[in-house]
A and B are shown apart, each in its own frame.
Chain A
Amino acid sequence: MAQYNLTINGKSLNVDVDPSTPMLWVLRDHLDLVGTKFGCGIAQCGACTIHLNGNAVRSCQLPVSAAENTEITTIEGISENGDHPVQKAWLEHDVPQCGYCQAGQIMSATALLKSNPSPSDEDIDNAMNGNICRCGTYTRIKAAIKTAAKSA
């Protein structure tokens, strides 16, 4: 066990966990930030996507020991009131089915739009291909990303 001081969604938080613990489980089990989801544990599904210094990363592969002195953002932190343009576009297109993958999808989409404010279809495919949606909401996700790109 070791003490870590983490900056998550702009807040400074302390945890006492094994250094190998992935951020996914630090967030979910230790900090009660359960919006970040477990899907595969091997960087294949994207359900656990968070931002590390603004970049989309898979939190199931990020040990807590590597997260110190970074800025971490989770789905709970991308907006105060759920009104980030990507969140709004998601609601406008009524994207979710079961909803389980959507936090990860939104985190990948917000990171994409930050670096590329008007992505092409191919840019979207490339940025989003790591996020599986078992329910098959891909066409709506693409449409929502385009809507968000316009409104941002």
Chain B
Amino acid sequence: MTLIDKKLNRRSFLKVSTLAGGGMMLSFSWLAGCKPTPEQVLTMPKEWFEINSYIKIGENGAVTLFNPNPEFGSNVKTSLPMLLAEELDVDWKNVFVEQADFYPKRFERQFTGGSQGIRSGWVPLRTAGATARQLLVNAAAQTWNVPATEITTNTGYLEHKGSGNRAGYGEVASLAGTLEAPDPETVKLKDISEFKIIGNSKKNVDGSKIVTGKPMYAMDHKVEGMKYAAIVHPPAFGMKIKSFDEASVTSLPGIQDVFSIKLFKEGFERHAFDTTTFPEIIAIVGNSTWEVMQAKKALKADWEIAPESNFKMSGWGPDVSEVKVPSGLENSSTHSEKMAEYITKPGNILRKDGDPEGAFKKASRVIERTYTAPFLAHNPMEPINCFADVKGDKAIIYGPSQIPDFIHGTVANSLGLEKENVQINLARMGGGFGRRAYSHHLTEAALISQRIQAPVKMVYTREDDMTAGVYRPTYSATYRAALDENNNLLALHVKAGGIPESPIHANRFPAGAIDNYLAEGWQIESNITIGAFRAPRSNFIAGAEQSFLDELAEEMGKDPIEFRLELLKRAETNPVGKDNDYDPKRYAGVLELVRDKSNWSNVPNGISRGVSAYFCHNSYVAEVVDVSIKDNQPVVENVYAAVDCGIVVNPDAAANMGEGAIIDGIGNAFYGEMAFENGAPTKRNFDTYRMIRHSEAPKKIEVHFVDNKEDPTGLGEPLFPPVFAALGNSLYKATGKRLYDQPFQPQLIDMKNLRM
């Protein structure tokens, strides 16, 4: 048994009675039931009893568990309730799962991003389950008049051997709901060896709804009297609205109104996640989506160059910073030129070990390579949209948001309402990938609804979505290695930056493994908005670093896995410098596992193979990609991944997400690219922005997890960064051509001259 973390916040264990009357339950149907599905073994109970914020139990033993975090496809809606169910000790088939709305008084961390869902829920949610179980035990003890310590539980049942008493949870739930919650510090959690649910795959709790097309997304939401809204934003970064002609659309069929909205009040101190490209946009309101989309095309609007602007930002760390938005219409060709200047310009020193300059002077050979990657659009399958109903001093918002907490204050401020009167309900999201961490669309829909004093659903077209910014930045990294006459590695130098941020994680591998090491960063300002994109920064730097190490291994005449293992051995036994933020042993562990699972040195006929490994979000991943060449084009045959993310809660779902991250990586490596001409994105929809499709997916993906007892770490992101280099390195083997610039595919179109 493990004692739980003493620092645990008590908020999760508050009773609903202390909150009732707070006026917050605008739509939060706390004790109302969810609809039973045919597979459910138990029928809906007549009455639910609340045990704590996450758990209610019916008189018949049915259990409802609330998933606190927003669901965007990483399956937290299944895996987080599994943590509750494990410690509550119930039969998973008697569990209903409901999505909690945004409710900060009840739930501590309603946040999907940074691969932290399971990691941060690991202790609090198991504790919530264990505390609820203890309440049921206490209720049984009271009922039977026996000591609580003599009562045992077994999948939904309580038993007292001495007296022969036995009862289902449902029989004592009503009493348990009235008892004082035990101090979480006194509640013990199960030992790993006692787990029955954690580690055993459970199907997606929304699976049946998804395959039958039930409404689940904000896009599907509809209420009586709801209006539809489309938006029009300036056509380019660095432009703003000059004027628009209302009459050009108001007479069109089904159109009710057209007006502009300003997202922020004058002088508002923005939150770091308030990122939006266009703080003023035009809204067209009407009777149906199609009508407002048609009016969008007809709207006559004039745009002008936006001057340089500034705003204050807080909410990310203690400081308020001044953010400058430069003026100008930017071009991808200029971006590339400016980034290339940094190959020779000095950057900011982020880490230095030993005497790298001296080692480079002594070197008998220096290898230098520069890697680049373009801006990327997130392109979640469900375009940006949001439902809002603002009337008088109350607002209800139902929207796709990864982090409602970060936008809550902004929405309230823009509406001029009290935060307590702005209720955000959480819709299932049709993908996120970081894009919906920036929830400006919630403010937009709310302002439109407030203006028309009616419920509204605002829908971006795919073009609006793709051209509204908040992209993955463009990056460049130059790696240099100094070798002596015997091909020993003397020093490594990385200088990397981007528009507008550097991708360097200075204390990650290979820092700590090389005596003379130098990391420099730089950034170039821009008015193109950027944001988190699956494994921010890692998603570029992993590809550059692991491609360079591959080339270096070849130059040094070493097997690429062996070379990495040698470096990791050095970092483990005699680490260089301080603050190395990875565990070399676990890092080596995934390389060894992937070597084993892919049968690394036994390359099948017609296959070319590449490897890569990376550490991010507290997890370690190594990947091997196999490609073949058919009709002069590369085909990805197999991908083997070895993952160390600690205990895996829901293995099959975890594998699914890993497969998705790998396919995502292959797609972006081959095709992903956003470019700009005079500030305007050159790609607006999937006809020009190429996405990976069925025929381009690997034929086989194997995701292997290291079996260990470490607490769980991140999973949604860590399988993504290593793919780029594993693919690039396998393509080199197949074609004889090293690929330094993403996307790869345009460089492979004419492969006739390549070695094959």
Contacts and interface: CB of A to CB of B under 8 A. Distances in A.
A149 interface: no
A20 B212 CA distance: 28
B74 A97 contact: yes
Nearest to B698: A139
Contacts of B383: 38-39
A142 interface: yes
Contact of A136 (B201, B219, B428, B697): B697
Given A30-B288, A97-B75, A136 B667 contact: yes
17 contacts: A29-B288, A34-B215, A40-B462, A40-B685, A44-B686, A44-B687, A47-B381, A87-B211, A90-B207, A91-B207, A97-B74, A98-B432, A129-B694, A134-B380, A138-B663, A138-B693, A138-B694
Interface in A45-83: 45, 47, 74-76, 79, 81-82
Interface in B192-237: 201, 203-204, 206-208, 210-217, 219-220, 222, 228
Interface of A: 1, 17-18, 20-22, 25, 28-30, 32-42, 44-45, 47, 74-76, 79, 81-82, 87, 90-91, 94-103, 106, 121, 124-126, 128-142
B117 interface: no
Nearest to B71: A98
Given A18-B291, A21-B290, A97-B660, A41 B215 contact: no
Given A18-B253, A29-B289, A134-B379, A44 B660 contact: no
A133 B431 CA distance: 10
B430 A125 contact: no
Nearest to B716: A97
A98 B659 CA distance: 14
Contacts of A126: 695
B656 A91 contact: no
Interface residues of B, number: 69
B664 interface: yes
Interface in B277-306: 288-291, 293-294
A139 B701 contact: yes
Given A102-B211, A134-B431, A125 B694 contact: yes
Given A97-B74, A98-B429, A138 B216 contact: no
A103 B209 CA distance: 10
B691 A132 contact: yes
A58 B69 CA distance: 33
Nearest to B457: A29
A96 B290 contact: no
Nearest to A130: B693
Contacts of B701: 139
A94 B431 contact: no
Specify which of B203, B211, B290, B699 lies most central, judged by the most chain A CB atoms within 10 Å of its CB. B211
Given A32-B222, A133-B381, A134-B691, 17 more contacts: A18-B254, A18-B290, A25-B290, A30-B288, A41-B293, A74-B213, A75-B212, A82-B212, A97-B660, A100-B380, A103-B211, A132-B686, A135-B73, A135-B660, A135-B664, A140-B659, A142-B697
Contact of A99 (B222, B428, B653): B428
A8 B695 CA distance: 31
Nearest to A28: B289
Most buried by A among B74, B75, B462, B657: B462
Given A34-B215, A36-B213, A29 B228 contact: yes
A42 B219 contact: no
Nearest to A108: B694
Given A18-B291, A35-B213, A135-B73, A81 B462 contact: no
B686 A98 contact: no
B452 interface: no
Contacts of B289: 25, 28-29, 38
A68 to B, nearest CB: 17
Contacts of A137: 656, 659-660
A91 B203 CA distance: 8
A1 B253 contact: yes
Contacts of B253: 1, 18
A124 B695 CA distance: 8
A131 B694 CA distance: 8
Contacts of A106: 211
Contacts of A36: 213
9 closest A-B pairs by beta carbon, nearest first, are A35-B213, A100-B430, A98-B73, A136-B663, A75-B213, A136-B660, A138-B697, A125-B695, A44-B686
B667 A76 contact: no
B754 to A, nearest CB: 24
B382 interface: yes
B121 to A, nearest CB: 19
A42 B663 contact: no
B210 to A, nearest CB: 4
A78 B685 CA distance: 30
Contacts of A134: 379-381, 431, 433, 664, 691
Contacts of A75: 211-213
B607 interface: no
Contacts of A76: 212-213
Contact of B206 (A38, A79, A99, A121): A99
B502 to A, nearest CB: 27
Given A40-B685, A125-B694, A136 B664 contact: yes
